[in-house]
Amino acid sequence: MRRLATGAAALLTGSALSAALVAVPRAPATAAPDLAGLVRIADVRRHLEALQEISDYNGGNRAVSRPGYDVSVKYVVARLKKAGFTPRVQPFEYEYWEQRTPAVFAQTAPGQATYKPEEQFQTMQYSGAGDVTASAAAVDVPASGQAGTAGCEAADFQGFASGSVALIQRGGCSFEAKAANARAAGAGALVVFNLPAEQGLVNGTLGKAFPLPVVETPHALGAELTRAAQAGGLKLRVRTDTVTGTRTSSNVIAETGRGRDDNVVVVGAHLDSVPEGPGINDNGSGSAALLAVAEKISRLGAAGLRNKVRFAWWGAEEEGLLGSEYYVGKLSDNDRAKIALNLNFDMLGSVNGVRGVYDGDGSLGGGTAPPPGSGAIEKIFKDYYAGRGLPTLESEFTGRSDYGPFIQAGIPAGGLFSGAEVVKTAEQAALFGGEAGKPYDPCYHTACDTLANIDWKLLDAHVDGVAFATQRLAASTLPVNGETRRPASSAQLSGQSAGAGFDWRGDHLVR
């Protein structure tokens, strides 16, 4: 049309030409606004302050199936409605586990010692209840400094005396497998201790209710008890008081009106905290960032929302990714194939944190084999921060958070993570600031995870990344999936995730 207009104008002169040009203006091209520029840290802070207040007035936490979580769901729904969404609350049932009274772990012979809970030991999630005092036996002790595969095979328990307390080092298989083999060998209780290279407690889970008392210890104490058991005469007491049952929780789902519904970008964060605290970093930070982005995303218009964006606030992540597992498990093959990718944001403001990007290309090795397209998501985040002169650190892609069910279903995934209980190295401190030798988040899963437990500068940069990647992929998923996905059968989806060795359930190790 430009060529035709030029030809017509060539026949006009003087004022006639000017009049023609004014009468037939050419509409300027418009670009979508910058979502990262629209979303301010003040927006995120307002939501975090609300979550803190909800926790303060509801027992000090926002844990699943407790009042603080229910009010958090209502808050998110109300904000989404105000932003023009039609949110859906998706209920689901789950098996819960609770420790009713503090556990006891003690040495009764040859010496006597009572160990400190939450410091020298803790009950493993989904441990059964029991009170056992018996001789301790070390099972398949690995070579010094090695991980090994202790307790992973029934043969490891050859000669094990029924009724004994089994001492087993973590590694090689799931905790559930170790516990099942110990129980089959007649163990009265199980003590799992951490790997030589890992500090602190295991923070493990058996994955489901298990009829055996199980506690966990740091490596140093476990190794000390192992040596004592090998010398003979070691007796231990393990007492756990736990209960399981069924409860109901919910996810909150909301999606943009604009965009292709056969190439959906799912952006998620878990909304629940642990019972011990308000969970403002874990994971109020991700939930608030998501809500702030959702409130501004309509400003992208049709030009910026070529793919539908589906926001999700997951429930019961701290119980084992239960909300996201339910969501993915309830999708039909056809609906699952319409999901282009998943972005996950869990802990974005750790006070001693890093700018972590999930290792979608598998360059770190180990962990879960990322579905194709995950490496492209990693590159989108890394290129964005590189363009701003900000360093990033690859974060292990282990399935630890709510992206886990998506990658298990063969759906590409990625996201950001500022760090939890792992200790910061000197090299990381040089890159990101903070203190080497201290955890990324010193208030991880504790009562001090409050508004005071946020690095606002780091959170601000992470929120920019959330907004940028969401806008980039709402416009085009070409580098991730070639824009379109063909519906896949259940068998194909299962094959895509074959061999995916998950190490985590929620924030808890399973092996």
**Catalytic machinery residues:** 317
- Rg over alpha carbons for the chain, rounded to the nearest Å, is 26
Question: Cβ(296)–Cβ(35) under 8 Å?
Answer: yes
Find the largest Cα–Cα distance for the chain. Answer: 110
Spell out a b/e string for 474-500, using b for 16 or more CB atoms within 10 Å of the CB, else e.
bbebeebbeeebeebeeeebeebbeeb
Instruction: Name the DSSP class of 389.
Output: T
Measure Cα distances from 56 to 68, 212, 385 in Å: 9, 36, 35
Residues 246, 243: Cα–Cα separation, whole Å: 11
Backbone angles phi, psi at 169, to 5 degrees: -80, 140
φ, ψ dihedrals at 488, nearest 5°: -115, 150
| Encoded tokens for 463 | 């929120």
Residue 108: C-alpha distances to residues 164, 223, 233 (Å): 14, 17, 10
Q: How many other CB atoms are there within 10 angstroms of residue 7's CB atom?
A: 9
Please report, for residues 84, 237, 365, 397, the alpha-carbon distance to residue 362 in angstroms, rounded to integers and kept in the order given. 39, 43, 5, 8
CA-wise closest residue to 69 among 81, 61, 80, 57: 61
Of 354, 358, 353, 344, the closest CA to residue 453 belongs to 353
Q: Which of 296, 294, 397 is nearest to 346 (CA)?
A: 397
Q: CB burial class (10 A; 0-12, 13-18, 19+) of residue 144?
A: exposed
Q: Of 483, 478, 51, 474, whose CA–CA distance to 296 is shortest? A: 474
Specify which residues 257 forms β-bridges with. Answer: none
CB 215 within 8 A of CB 238: yes
**Cα angle, residue 318 at apex, residues 317 and 320 outer, rounded to 5°:** 65
- In this structure, is the dihedral angle defined by the CA atoms of residues 240, 95, 409 and 36, taken in order, positive or negative? negative
Kindly write down the DSSP assignment for every residue of 165-218, as one continuous string. EEEEE--SS-HHHHHHHHHHTT-SEEEEE--TT--S---BB-SS--SS-EEEE-
